[in-house]
Amino acid sequence: MKSFIRVSSGVGLFLVLVVLFSGCFGANDRKKATSPATDTAADYKYGKIEIPGKEGSLCAAPIYIAYEKGFYAEEGFEVNLISANTETRKIGLNNGTIPIVNGDFQFFPSIENEVKVKVVDGLHFGCIKLLVHKASPIYSAKDLRGKRISVDEIGGTPHQVAAVWLEKNGISAKPEDRQVTFLPFADGNLAVEALNKGEVDVAALWDPFGSVLEKTGNYRVILDIATDEPFADKFCCFLYASEKLIKEEPEKVAALLRAYRKAQDWIAANPEATVDLIIKGKYSQVEDRDLAIELIKSYAYPTTADRSAKPTQVRDNVRYFAEQLYSIGYLTTDPETFTKHAYVEIDINLGK
């Protein structure tokens, strides 16, 4: 997800500092946040831990809110929020030094390749849009045959989203079939510049960048995974826990999930205050508060009531996306087998 947007009114140039985590991954270093004043690690049941949460993603709000509202501390953790790139996350999850990360279904191939991590919960919905110029003749997936689509990286989540959408509508996303062309632009500014120049026909973008562009009235959304099939009402981002920690100290994983769920409940009830805390803490660079509030609401963080109404939703969503990725060749394990391997249900009351 992207976090920093500034619009230059003189020339309509959009300058965006795009920060990902694989979906929301992207930092190349590892930096600790300054922890709130605490006594000693001995005051915490589970001591100190590090959680990746300094990538600037707006949609990672539960991480920031659990930190700011003291939910981690209530559950026994002294937390340092750090920046960690994809490889650092994988290493940390494998050896248990990083207990939990947020990530989208781009992480599924890593699980298939035996990265020791499990899906343990859902984080939020939505956050990727496909845009065209307002005057473009493209309105649907079926209009994309022979077209060029910008993505942040080949194999990344926007690429996978576009590929699933195309395949669902009878257009091959496989490069050997040459029905569409994907062009990678690691910088969202360059992707928009290419769209403006006619070098690509469609831009697949993370929010809030996509929403900022849409708001100008110069661009039109042809796919919003928050509201459009085949992605509507399904988690785009999950929580992944260290398999080592799940096996050796499952009560810690349960306590972390309780902290996240407290944060999700609080965000659902307080979207405006959530954005204000994010701005105050400089967790994400927000220049349009109203848009940020609108996006926070659109991510529909699951609440306790939601979980009671749909107790199998996380597992069902893992299987659903495993089916989609399997159908386009991004996974080679059959979806049911993959789901049994990738998802584990944690007893949320462990360690209470």
Going from the C-alpha of 167 to that of each of 131, 180, 201, 225, the distances in angstroms are: 18, 11, 18, 15
Q: Say if CB 209 and CB 292 are below 8 A apart.
A: no
pLDDT for res 42: 55
Residue with tokens 């990727």: 128
Q: Can you tell me the distance from the alpha carbon of 231 to that of 204, in angstroms, rounded to the nearest whole number?
A: 15
pLDDT for res 330: 86
pLDDT for res 1: 42
Instruction: Kindly report the CATH number that applies to the domain delimited by 41-125+236-342.
Output: 3.40.190.10
Compute how many other C-beta atoms are within 10 angstroms of the C-beta atom of residue 164.
23
Two tokens at 160? 């996978």
pLDDT for res 287: 86
Low-confidence ranges of the chain (pLDDT < 70): 1-42
pLDDT for res 4: 34
Strand blocks (E) in 100-246: 100-104, 117-125, 128-133, 148-151, 181-184, 202-206, 219-224, 235-242
β-bridge mates for residue 241, sequence order: 100, 118
Compute how many other C-beta atoms are within 10 angstroms of the C-beta atom of residue 251.
17
Is 82 strand, coil or helix? strand
> Can you say how many angstroms the Cα of residue 341 is from the centroid of all Cα atoms in its chain?
21
Going from the C-alpha of 27 to that of each of 55, 64, 337, the distances in angstroms are: 6, 17, 32
pLDDT for res 316: 97
pLDDT for res 20: 32
> Can you say how many angstroms the Cα of residue 338 is from the centroid of all Cα atoms in its chain?
20
Q: Say if CB 244 and CB 96 are below 8 A apart.
A: yes
List the chain domain ranges: 41-125+236-342, 128-224
pLDDT for res 34: 41
Nearest partner of 203 among 144, 155, 285, judged by Cα: 144
The yes-or-no answer to whether 41-125+236-342 and 128-224 have a common fold is yes
The fourth-level CATH superfamily of domain 128-224 is Periplasmic binding protein-like II (3.40.190.10)
Q: What is the CA radius of gyration of the chain?
A: 20
